[in-house]
């Protein structure tokens, strides 16, 4: 049995956290490949090491004195090393980093040092071999990620290694230039390692016991999700639910490797299991509720639009030409509505409106802003009658006007558009009907 274990920044923020991680790894022999993040926040007003590195490098780039900033980063690691009682020093590494910062080695190089150094500390602590991710995670010349070469390099390198620590978040181009994934990218690294070693499971250790059914900032003490499919997760993360980096799903999904989100501070909790498919019946009809604010709707109206061949294409072309991505598109007989992110639309608004007039001569265009979309997601909806009915009666009881409804053809989700003011109440009403009353 092989497990790849990735630990997030808050799981590695201090020596005390490192000890919890050590205990988790030692408790299960299958936990053989470890992917650490950089040390995160120790308390809520603390700064993540990655952010300290970005700030320090910004000073270096402006040719300001960055010694003190770098020393403070060094202290963060030294505190961990001392707390773990290790006879191990990063002095030499910090000298190299100092030199490379002075020579302006790049922002990505700077940020990547958080994981690199933490990987070294972790390897010393566990007595596992260390592999520099720059050698095994490959980016193309243009900075895009090269999945194929990475998989070859990683599989070959790990083939006869029983144990290893591979820092997350970064890799390098063929010439050695370090490139990072986007923020939170150690999740992706963990997934790549899991694919390369053919892991039985990819454990992603963080500071929550898995996904929650709804956002805890909106719903008080929401229950957690035990099992979720990749598809459901995709729907929820599209709507803003975040625990895992979005790109982390793809490598393991291809190989059918489940991801288990676990809590370093509560290792007894089972967390959330993310799987390709499952026969396990969800506890509730729905798996989760997520939503995002900040949408605008553009409704284009024209009599007999339904019989005008190419109408939709022409309207959509205007959005494409202006580089504005379309999020949803409910339509009527003589109307079509296009949901877009308000920020992106506002910049191009007049151009798009003029473009639509020119292309299709509509009778009327109506704009509505400050809308929110809420997705009610669940594989259980397919086999349950009355889900839509319950959604709308819950919203009606909460005096919420529904502006848009969109049921995905997979019957996996129902998306509802509401006004910004109703957003939170709508989520609470939905949680109550599906989870608290659980009829």
Q: How far is the CB of 169 from ligand ASP (least distance, A)?
A: 4
Q: Distance (Å, rounded) from C-alpha 70 to C-alpha 64? A: 12
Pairing of strands 227-229, 178-180: unpaired
Among 10, 17, 50, 227, binds ligand ASP (CB under 6 A): 50
CB 402 within 8 A of CB 417: yes
Site for ligand ASP in 185-214 (CB under 6 A): 185-186
Closer residue to ligand ASP, CB minimum distance, 75 or 347: 75
Kindly indicate which of the ranges 67-75, 179-187, 217-225, 265-273 contains the residues binding ligand ASP, using the contact rule CB under 6 A: 179-187
And the tokens for 58? Answer: 């910004």
C-alpha span between 372 and 375 (Å, rounded): 10
The nearest distance, CB 304 to ligand ASP, in angstroms, is 52
Residue 93: HSE in the Cβ half-sphere, 13 Å Cα cutoff: 19
Q: Measured from the CB of residue 35, what is the shortest distance to ligand ASP in angstroms? A: 9
Alpha-carbon distance values, 278 to 59, 200, 229, 230 (Å): 51, 16, 7, 10
Give the footprint of ligand ASP on residues 8-37 (CB under 6 A). 9, 37
Residue 436, Cβ density class (10 Å: 0-12 exposed, 13-18 middle, ≥19 buried)? exposed
Considering the complex, state which of residue 240 and residue 386 has its C-beta at the smaller distance from ligand ASP.
240
Q: Does 357 bind ligand ASP (CB under 6 A)?
A: no
CA distances from 59 to 92, 129, 335, 375 (A): 21, 34, 54, 43
Residues 118 and 189: their CA atoms lie apart, in Å, by: 15
Supply the minimum distance, in Å, between the C-beta of residue 152 and ligand ASP: 23
Given 168, 222, 355, 378, the residue binding ligand ASP (CB under 6 A): 168
Please, are residues 271 and 263 in contact by the beta-carbon 8 Å criterion? yes
Q: List 172's β-bridge partners, or say none.
A: 138, 178
Select the residue whose beta carbon is closest to ligand ASP and give its number: 186
One of 119, 171, 184, 258 touching ligand ASP (CB under 6 A): 184
Nearer to ligand ASP, 184 or 291 (CB): 184
Rule CB under 6 A: which of 98-157 touch ligand ASP? 114
Return the number of the residue (19 or 183) whose C-beta is nearest ligand ASP: 183
- Residue closer to ligand ASP by CB (options 57, 169) is 169
Q: Give the footprint of ligand ASP on this chain (CB under 6 A).
A: 9, 37-38, 48, 50, 114, 168-169, 183-186
């Amino acid at each position: 049995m092989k497990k790849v274990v990735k630990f997030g920044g808050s799981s590695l923020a201090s020596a005390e956290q490192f000890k919890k991680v050590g205990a988790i790894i030692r408790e299960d022999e299958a936990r053989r490949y470890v992917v650490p993040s950089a040390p995160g926040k120790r308390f809520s007003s603390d700064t993540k090491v990655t952010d300290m590195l970005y700030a320090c490098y910004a000073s270096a780039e402006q040719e300001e004195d960055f010694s003190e900033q770098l020393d403070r980063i060094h202290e963060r690691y030294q505190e961990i090393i001392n707390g773990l009682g290790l006879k191990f020093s990063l002095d030499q590494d910090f000298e190299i980093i100092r030199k490379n910062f002075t020579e302006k080695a790049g922002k990505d190089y700077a940020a990547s040092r958080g994981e690199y150094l933490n990987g070294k500390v972790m390897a010393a602590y566990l007595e596992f071999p260390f592999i520099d991710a720059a050698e095994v995670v490959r980016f193309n010349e243009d900075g895009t990620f090269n999945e194929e070469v990475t998989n070859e390099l990683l599989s070959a390198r790990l083939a006869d290694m029983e144990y290893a620590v591979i820092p997350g978040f970064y890799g390098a181009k063929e010439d050695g230039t370090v490139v990072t994934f986007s923020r939170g990218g150690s999740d992706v690294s963990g997934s790549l390692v899991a694919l390369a070693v053919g892991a039985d499971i990819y454990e992603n250790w963080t500071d929550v016991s898995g996904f929650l059914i709804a956002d805890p900032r909106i719903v008080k003490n929401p229950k957690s999700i035990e099992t979720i499919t990749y598809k459901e997760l995709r729907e929820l993360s599209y709507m803003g639910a975040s625990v895992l980096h979005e790109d982390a799903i793809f490598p393991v999904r291809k190989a059918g490797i489940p991801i288990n989100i676990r809590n370093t501070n509560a290792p007894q909790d089972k967390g959330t299991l993310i799987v390709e498919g499952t026969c396990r019946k969800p506890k509730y009809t729905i798996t989760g509720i997520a939503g995002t604010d900040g949408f605008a709707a553009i409704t284009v109206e024209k009599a007999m639009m339904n019989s005008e061949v190419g109408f939709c294409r022409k309207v959509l072309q205007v959005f494409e030409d202006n580089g504005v991505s379309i999020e949803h598109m409910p339509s009527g007989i003589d109307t079509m509505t296009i949901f877009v992110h308000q920020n992106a639309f506002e910049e191009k608004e007049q151009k798009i409106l003029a473009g639509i007039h020119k292309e299709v001569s509509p009778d009327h265009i109506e704009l509505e802003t400050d809308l929110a979309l809420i997705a009610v997601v669940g594989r259980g909806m397919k086999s349950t009658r009355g889900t839509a009915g319950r959604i709308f009666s819950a919203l009606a009881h909460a005096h919420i006007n529904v502006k848009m409804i969109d049921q995905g053809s997979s019957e996996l989700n129902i998306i509802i558009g509401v006004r910004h003011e109703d957003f939170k109440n709508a989520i609470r009403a939905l949680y109550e009907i599906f989870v608290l009353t659980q009829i």
